[in-house]
Amino acid sequence: MKTIVQIWQDQKNLLCLVALLAFGIYIQTYSIGKLVYTFPDEGIYLYAAKLVAQGHLIYRDFFLAHLPFWIYINAFILQLLDWNMDLYHMLYAFWVVSGAIPLYLIVYSVTKKSTPAVLACLIYLVFPEMMQWDAHLFAMRQASTPLLGWAMYHLICSRNYKKSGVFFAIFSMGLVTNFFVSFIIMGAWAVQAYLDGIDQPTRKVPIRKILLLLIPYLLLVGTYATVFAVIPNSINNVFGYQLNNQFIPYITRIMYIKRMLPINWVMFIFGFVGCFLAPRKLRWVGTSFLIIFPVITFASRTFYPHYLVILGLPFALSAGFFLDYLIRHHVSTIPIVVSVISIIYYSSGSHMYYHLVQAKSPTFYSTIDRLSRAPEPVFTFEPIYALYAKKSITYHYYVADPRSFRVLGDYYPEDVYITGLSQNNSCFCV
C-alpha cells in the first residue's frame, strides 16, 4: 500500500485533494453567521464545555448523558477563541471536512486510481444526513469521523498498527457507540489477519500484528474508562440515562430509515454494494461495515437517523470500491463521473442547497442581540442562545441538558423549575 508521503508527491493527487477540501469547506462555512439551527444538540455540548471552563466537574456538578472527551476538547478550544462561535464553527467545519483526507488516501492507495478516490470523497462531502447542518454545528458523531478515518488509514495503508490503535482509542472516547464500531472493525481485521497467517510456518506474525493494535487501544481506553468511572454520578448519568431511555420500536426505526432514503440513498446503495466488492485482502472492511449497520440501528433502546452518520466515511470508502469495480470492468470513466454527479444532484441537490445556502435565521440573531443586553443569569431550555449572547444560565444540576426529561418522557422537576425562575434576572424559556 502507498503511504501518505508517496501519494502526496503526486501533484495531481494533491490538487484533487485540495480542490475537494476547498469545496467541502466552502459549502459548510457559507451559512456561518447567517443560519443557526436550535434543534440539534450543539447547545447542550458546548454549554457543558462552558461549565467545565468555569471550573465545574462534569457529572458531579451538572448532568450530561454523554462521555466527557469532546466536552473538554471544546472547552479548551472555545477558551482559546474567546467563545467566538462563528470562528469556532469554521474550525469545526474544517475538521469534519478533513475526514476526506484519509478517505482519499485509502481509496487511492487500494485502487491506484484517482477517479474512485475523488468520487468517494464527493459522496462523503455531500452525504445529506451527515452534512446538512451538523458538519458546521457541533455533533459528536461528525466530530469523531476524521479520527475513524485516520485509524483505518494506518490499519490499511501505512500498516502502523500502534498508531491505528491510538486513533481507534481516541475515536472510542467520544461516544459510547464508537466503542462498538471500533470493536467490530478491529475484530473483523484481527480474524482475517489470523486466518491469513494460518498457512505460514508460524502464527507469530499475525498475533504480533493483533497485539500491536490492541495493546495501545486497551491501555488508553482502560485508563480513560477508569478516570470516567471514579467521577461521581458518571455511570448513572451516561448508562443509567441510556437504559431508562424510551424504547423505540424496531418497525419505527425501519420507518425512520425509509423516510431518510430519498435524499440519502446514494451513500447507502453505493456503500452496501461496495461492501461486497472489497478486494480479497480487505474483505474484513466490507464485513465489518455490514455488521455495524444493524448494530447501530437495532442494538440500543433508542435510534434516530443521525446515528447512522458514523457510517458516512466507512460507506464512502466501500463506495470507492464499487466505483473502482465499474472502472476495472471497462466502464468508461467519464460516464461514471457524470452519472455520480448527476444522481447526487437530482437526489439531494435542492435539499442540500437549501440547508447550506438559502436558509437563514434572522429571528435567532435578533433574539441574541436583545439577550446580549439582558442581565445575567438567564433561564432558558435552549443553551445555544446563552452561548451566542455570552450569558450564563441560572445554575442548577440539569442546566446543560434540560431536554433530557423530554427525551425520557418525564417532567421537568418542579423544584428545579421554581428555583431557576426565582434566581434568574432574564426569563427566556425557549
Domain boundaries, the chain: 31-97+361-430, 101-347
The predicted structure's pLDDT at residue 273: 97
d(CA 196, CA 207): 11
Task: Indicate the pLDDT class of residue 233, thresholds 50, 70 and 90.
Answer: very high
Across 213-242, average pLDDT: 94
Is the pLDDT assigned to residue 66 strictly greater than 90? yes
Mean pLDDT of 247-275: 95
Cβ atoms 153, 44 nearer than 8 A:
no
Higher-confidence residue: 145 or 13?
145
| pLDDT of amino acid 418 | 67
Helix (H, G, I), strand (E, B) or coil at 427: strand
Kindly report, residue by residue over 323-351, the tens digit of the pLDDT.
999 998 877 888 888 999 999 999 998 98
Span 72-82, average pLDDT: 96
Question: Average pLDDT for residues 119-138, to the nearest whole number?
Answer: 89
- Would you place residue 131 in the very low, low, confident or very high pLDDT band (cuts 50, 70, 90)? confident
179 pLDDT higher than 90? yes
DSSP calls for 215-268: HHHHHHHHHHHHHHHHSTTHHIIIIIHHHHSPPPPHHHHHHHHHHHHHHHHHHH
Cα dihedral 164, 165, 169, 172 sign? positive
Residues present in the chain in total = 430
pLDDT at 149 over 60: yes
| Poorest-pLDDT segment among 55-59, 155-159, 200-204 | 200-204
Contacts 24+ apart (CB under 8 A), 256-262: 256/303, 256/304, 256/305, 257/297, 257/305, 257/308, 259/305, 260/129, 260/305, 262/347
pTM of the predicted protein model: 0.92
Average pLDDT, the chain: 88
pLDDT of residue 200: 63
Does the pLDDT value for residue 380 go beyond 90? no
- Residue 400 predicted with pLDDT over 90: no
pLDDT of residue 59: 95
Would you state the pLDDT for residue 317? Answer: 97
Question: Average pLDDT of 71-95?
Answer: 95
Task: Judge whether residue 116 has pLDDT over 60.
Answer: yes
Stated as kind and residue range, the H or E segment containing 378 is strand 378-379
pLDDT grade for 424, boundaries at 50, 70 and 90: low
Of 127-131, 191-195, 200-204, 312-316, the poorest mean pLDDT is in 200-204
